[in-house]
Amino acid sequence: GKRPTSSIASLLHEIMPDSTVYQDNGISWKEEYVLQAIDSLKGAPLAVEFINDKKDAIWGHGMTDEVDTDDGKMPIFENSEVVGSFIEGYISDVEIDGVVKHVLMGRAYIYEQRYKNFVDWLVINIPLGNVMGSVEINGLPENKNVIVYEDGYKETGRVPMVYCYSGHALLSNCVKPADKSAVVLEINEDIKNQNK
pLDDT of 24 higher than 60: yes
Give the number of residues written for the chain.
196
Confidence bin at 4 (pLDDT 50/70/90)? low
pLDDT of 195 higher than 80: no
Class of residue 128 by CB neighbours under 10 A (exposed 0-12, middle 13-18, buried 19+) = exposed
pLDDT attached to residue 61: 76
Please say whether the beta carbons of 60 and 51 come within 8 A.
no
Largest CA distance in the chain: 53
pLDDT attached to residue 194: 37
Confidence bin at 3 (pLDDT 50/70/90)? low
pLDDT of 2 higher than 70: no
pLDDT tens digits, 62-111? 777 888 876 667 778 788 899 999 999 999 999 988 999 999 999 999 99
pLDDT tens digits, 147-189? 999 999 999 999 999 999 999 999 988 887 788 888 899 988 6
pLDDT attached to residue 79: 83
pLDDT tens digits, 29-75? 999 999 999 999 999 999 999 999 999 989 887 777 888 876 667 77
Class of residue 151 by CB neighbours under 10 A (exposed 0-12, middle 13-18, buried 19+) = exposed
Look at strands 164-172 and 99-110 and give their pairing.
unpaired
Q: Which of 84, 91, 60 has its CA nearest to residue 8? A: 84
